[in-house]
Structure 1
Amino acid sequence: MGNEIRKYLCLCLLLFLAACQSVQVSDSSHIKEEEVVTALQENGVKLAEAEFPNNVFGQKLGNVKPKTYELSGKPFFIFEFKTEIERENGEKEFDEKTATMDLVSSSTFIKRNILIFYVHEQDFNSGNVPFEKEIQEALDGISEG
């Protein structure tokens, strides 16, 4: 009888720890816009707060208005969604809204709940988009939680 109780308690403890683990992982998987800015700054990407009120890349997606910056004179938008699913829905909404537009060259970066548009206006065929590598490295360096 003692072994059965011990097994039952071990099972309960294991389930409790598993539940705590999943809650902890989901909480730490959310990235804040400030974390992204810090990671970018540490990787040599110097952003300055700016306003681009009529830029299509800065439109509200879902219920999220992006934080707007300037990177070497070019618009840089960071969207912080609550979840990855909301971010995916925001991407779809952007694609639908801009499907018939002839947009300037830009790069899109994604990390979990974060969506970034960098409107660099460079020719993609040049293969030399300023800061693209540094931005991606900064996002890759953000901890997975």
Structure 2
Amino acid sequence: MKKIVMVILFLLLAGCVQTNVYDSSYISEEDVIAALQHVQIPVTPTSKRGDELFTSTLNSVKPSVYDMDKQTLIIYVFENTEQRADSEWEFTEQTASMNVVSYKAFTKRNVWLLYVHGEELNAPSIPYVEDIESALESLVEG
């Protein structure tokens, strides 16, 4: 009987301990930068915050800002895909009635990238778009 009580007590205590389990679907900022550099995209961290509209805190996440030649890349890394999706919706709602500079958004699991290129919306070719898509596609499950 004493052994059964000890086993139950041990199981209860073990159930209360929270362990950090690596989520293989999580993408870090370092993963994104490595993938971009792998496809030869010149990304350089910058201290400039750029347009406040694009670099605002969303869902308690402040983005990182990078220079790509004369364009800007903003990287948001959220805890999960739900938080990312909520933030995308929040951003869309905030900017719906605004006349914003041209940008392209990219998503990959918990990551949201905003590439502020400033090109015309109907431009036949926007630099780096295909390269960014390729870099994000290269990020495979953990």
Instruction: Identify whether the pair has TM-score above 0.5, normalized to the shorter chain.
Output: yes
1:88 corresponds to 2:88: no
Q: 2:31 aligns with which of 16, 35, 39?
A: 35
Deviation at 1:52, TM superposition (A): 2.2
TM-score, normalised relative to structure 1: 0.79
In the alignment, the residues of structure 1 paired with residue 50 and residue 116 of structure 2 have an alpha-carbon distance, to the nearest angstrom, of 14
Deviation at 1:100, TM superposition (A): 1.2
One-letter code aligned to 2:42: K
Quick one: percent identity of the two aligned structures? Answer: 34
Equivalent runs, 1:1-145 vs 2, <5 Å: 27-50=23-46, 51-145=48-142
Note the aligned Cα RMSD (angstroms): 1.6
In the alignment, the residues of structure 2 paired with residue 105 and residue 27 of structure 1 have an alpha-carbon distance, to the nearest angstrom, of 34
TM-score, normalised relative to structure 2: 0.81
In the alignment, the residues of structure 2 paired with residue 53 and residue 133 of structure 1 have an alpha-carbon distance, to the nearest angstrom, of 23
Counterpart of 1:90 in 2: which secondary structure?
helix
One-letter code aligned to 1:57: F
In the alignment, the residues of structure 1 paired with residue 123 and residue 94 of structure 2 have an alpha-carbon distance, to the nearest angstrom, of 28
Post-superposition Cα deviations, 1:83-141, rounded to whole Å, max 9, x if no partner, equal: 00000000011011111110111010000000000000111322210000000000000
Post-superposition Cα deviations, 1:28-76, rounded to whole Å, max 9, x if no partner, equal: 1000011000000011111111112543111111100001101112121
In the alignment, the residues of structure 2 paired with residue 76 and residue 55 of structure 1 have an alpha-carbon distance, to the nearest angstrom, of 13
* Structure 1 unmatched runs, 5+: 1-22
One-letter code aligned to 1:104: V
Counterpart of 2:66 in 1: which secondary structure?
strand
In the alignment, the residues of structure 1 paired with residue 44 and residue 35 of structure 2 have an alpha-carbon distance, to the nearest angstrom, of 14
